[in-house]
Amino acid sequence: MAVKKLINVTQIKKDLFIPRNVNYEESFTIKDRITGSGVSFSGFSSSILTSRIKQHPDSVSIACTFTAAFTDASSGVLKLSLTPTQTNQLKSGRYFYDCVVITEDKPDADTAGDLHIERLVQGQVIVE
Amino acid sequence: MADVTSSKIQFDDKGATPRYNLVLNQHADNFIEFSVVGSGETTFNLSGYAFSGSVRKHIGSSSTATDSVNLGFDTGGRAVGVITARVTAGLTTNFSKISPRYTYDIITTDNTSGVKRKLVTGNVNVDVGVTKVGGGGTDDSDDVLGSNRICIAVIDESSSAGTVDSANSASNAVTVSEYNAFRETFPNRKHYILQPTPTGIAKTEAIMTDAVKAVYVSGFTDGRQVQGVNRDGGDASEASDWFNIVGISTMNITKLALFIDTSGSMDLNTVAASRAKFIGTCTANGITIREEDNGDEDWIEPFTGILA
């Protein structure tokens, strides 16, 4: 069985404007570059989304971490969210963020799988 | 998932090399699918070809760890003229943000004639990344993959013959390459083997070959590679204290991964009392157990993936 990979996925580039001291959430639909339909993430053995905000892309420190989760994995819909506490901890200004998915697919149940890390969303964050 | 202006490239005898520029993501794997067609855009069967390629700082530069990233290939679709190139450098690509332009090419070799030709070439621009996830302790924040996870395998043997060695074709033993692949990807995962035996004394030769013994790094730091434990058969009075044997009380952890062999020579009932005691102690100490499985008496595979 061939190992599943994410190929021809349209990477979303979007800047986010985040007010302080409130809940914030943003949803994205990851689409196939050729067909235009939502990409299914449900066929992998395992997958994890993770998303960081940094002052600069190469910063060692992290300004904040989005809670990232699929709301409809089979259609490629994911959501990034922050709590009021998190948005309050961000100082006003410009930041950078991206969201990557780590996928694991195993040829069969007893064979080690292949781990892939792929970027789905990226852009700047403006904290108002 | 890199951008490519067009994935269709023509491959014929006219000698011209198509150029396609790529945008690759830093700190990520990048897959680029090329559809190869012959002259007149006819289907081109690439079954008789091998592929090689590299990403370099500039044409002619020497390959170094910092300015060159290898291209790997998935050739499963080559009978219909499709190859997928994967930009690889371990788990993540580590391009320099300071000077993010590179060049790449892909070379084909005709397996029959040995003739080499350049299939495609172009520039690579690197899109810098923010989130950095790595199995080798390069993660820039919380342990997303479980790269530092404590891994405990409870297994009595890796061969129905009782001893694993190269002459034993029935052996399911972990190979050196499998072990090294695990170690390379997750160098910070501490691995422990607990072996239920009738005497409670370990018999390492039933678990790993001499070759694996030579490279295996146990989480035990006192020279033990395999620790014998009881086959309790569900009798609480015979239960082994896995928690203390591994020394978890001295570790500042909230999660661990556990694999118990259920391939036949043992099953969950063989160590039911020890397992119950372990789960209870972990729960009492606020430690979440991620239980993994494997039906091939393989004590590495359960720990080779995401253990978040």
**In chain A, what residues touch B293 (CB-CB under 8 Å)?**
109
The CA distance from B82 to B104, in Å, is 18
The CA distance from B127 to B210, in Å, is 46
- Indicate the pLDDT class of residue A49, thresholds 50, 70 and 90: very high
Mark yes or no for CB contact A6/B1 under 8 Å: yes
Say if residue B120 is exposed, middle or buried (CB neighbours under 10 Å; 0-12, 13-18, 19+): buried
If you average pLDDT over residues A56-77, what whole number do you get?
Answer: 92
Is the Cβ–Cβ distance between B291 and B303 less than 8 Å?
no
pLDDT (0 to 100) of residue B77: 84
A43-57, A86-100, A110-124, B142-156: which is most confident: A86-100
pLDDT (0 to 100) of residue B125: 82
pLDDT at A43 over 50: yes
pLDDT (0 to 100) of residue B15: 67
pLDDT (0 to 100) of residue B6: 43
Residues 67-96 of B with CB under 8 A from A: 74, 76, 84, 86, 91-92
Is the Cβ of B185 closer than 8 Å to some Cβ of chain A? yes
ipTM confidence score: 0.87
pLDDT (0 to 100) of residue B65: 46
Mean pLDDT per block of 10 residues along chain B (308 residues) reads: 56 78 84 84 86 81 60 83 73 53 87 91 85 61 79 87 55 83 90 94 89 93 94 95 94 92 90 97 95 87 89
pLDDT (0 to 100) of residue B141: 53
Of A2, A98, A117, the CB nearest to B92: A117
Of B26, B293, B304, the CB nearest to A112: B304
Is the Cβ–Cβ distance between A6 and B1 less than 8 Å?
yes
pLDDT (0 to 100) of residue B260: 95
pLDDT (0 to 100) of residue B72: 80
